[in-house]
Structure 1
């Protein structure tokens, strides 16, 4: 894939005192949504500057977003570049099985110029009282993610984007540096600056900078120009 420097993002609060502005001529805006957002007004989002979207398709090996089809079709009809993401549950099935479930329920990729490669959302266990790393040690977690990644690549011809936080990656993979060559990084860091990256990556492809904003869902920037975004969708 093409390498995009992480320093190319526009800092959200660059005009604030003490902020360090990061200049970039382009930073396509995007959102990610799930069943929580329900019926999204995609036309309004596009008119408000959104150019791409990730839509939750699945979790584990049993859950599908009941709004996925309508959200995905709505984004398509609005002319957005869009893709699907899977919320990983490493404690409820092997990584390769979850990749197959994801692809069979909307998470595939096609070289049509408007479909983003599928993303694996891997973060702290949201279950109340659940183990933060789903009961896996660092080595087992790395193997689980690798199994998901390899299976997704085998099924689609693309490696999945990895959505995570630097803190989770350090805590649950031991800050493993082995994924940067194949897997684009979608970093969640809700701040006015990108912050430190996990080991193995020199840049990000997407930065989720806020959990809410002027558009539905989480707020994101793509690291590059509109042409770069189209190229990433088409071939990486």
Structure 2
């Protein structure tokens, strides 16, 4: 697979399959008591982090890896640059569950930017689970196999970093491809994608969302996110 073909960002396939819903520019979601943020990949190139900070972004997720072969060439500028601008930041991995097992992809991710440190400025590593960009929606895996893959990735990241990864997904994809046999919400923060002015139902196995990716483009480079809480709560999630 050519390396450039692996440059999929969080929500690229959600947007392709689910679209923008009924979101209107004048109908932004309520932001009171929440913290604005963003997520980026190599598609954004070198990001002007001070500009995003000045516009109100306080956290970001940066794509680090995909499968076991792709590393974001802009990762250092984006990950370190956001930190230097004052943001709380974390790294995410775009999963390709049919290419290799969860442990192998977790190892590759953590070894290439997906680590964590208790500095109060680093979000838990994140696992991006969404529609297959190369074919079958669920990667030709049934719910039991996909659940086992996610659990293997999550458990391995915990062994390596002492943090369970956040899980990025959409409700439609997760309910179809993973289901609710394991309550991942007991350990894994939910980063849910739903492009609308209202959130809607959460994926099976989750009773609470931590981050909502509510728009694919907007005020900040990349996707627009809201942390479901105040800034001091975001700091606590980063710290422990």
Deviation of residue 70 (structure 1)? Answer: 1.0
* C-alpha contact (below 8 Å) 1:138/1:172 kept by paired residues: yes
Deviation of residue 99 (structure 1)? Answer: 0.5
Deviation of residue 135 (structure 1)? Answer: 1.2
Give the aligned partner of residue 118 of structure 1.
Answer: 125
Deviation of residue 28 (structure 1)? Answer: 0.7
Q: Find out whether 1:49 has 2:28 as its counterpart.
A: no
* Whole-angstrom CA distance in 2 between matches of 1:25 and 1:75: 23
* Whole-angstrom CA distance in 2 between matches of 1:233 and 1:204: 16
Give the aligned partner of residue 228 of structure 1.
Answer: 233
Give the aligned partner of residue 45 of structure 2.
Answer: 38
1:191 to 191, 196, 199: 196
Aligned residue for 2:168, secondary structure, equals strand
The total of aligned residue pairs comes to 218
Q: Find out whether 1:80 has 2:67 as its counterpart.
A: no
* Whole-angstrom CA distance in 2 between matches of 1:46 and 1:159: 27
Give the aligned partner of residue 134 of structure 1.
Answer: 139
* Whole-angstrom CA distance in 1 between matches of 2:68 and 2:173: 22
* C-alpha contact (below 8 Å) 1:170/1:176 kept by paired residues: no
* Whole-angstrom CA distance in 2 between matches of 1:25 and 1:61: 39
Aligned residue for 2:154, secondary structure, equals helix
CA RMSD of aligned residues (A): 1.8
* Whole-angstrom CA distance in 1 between matches of 2:200 and 2:182: 17
* Whole-angstrom CA distance in 2 between matches of 1:154 and 1:161: 15
Aligned residue for 2:113, secondary structure, equals helix
Deviation of residue 26 (structure 1)? Answer: 1.8
* Whole-angstrom CA distance in 1 between matches of 2:42 and 2:158: 26
Output one character per residue of 1:166-187: Cα deviation in whole Å (capped at 9) or x when no partner.
0001110134442110001000
Give the aligned partner of residue 102 of structure 1.
Answer: 109
Deviation of residue 123 (structure 1)? Answer: 0.3
* C-alpha contact (below 8 Å) 2:68/2:108 kept by paired residues: yes
1:202 to 204, 207, 228: 207
* C-alpha contact (below 8 Å) 1:177/1:201 kept by paired residues: no
Q: Find out whether 1:146 has 2:151 as its counterpart.
A: yes
Output one character per residue of 1:98-155: Cα deviation in whole Å (capped at 9) or x when no partner.
001000000000100000010000000112xx01111111100000000000000010
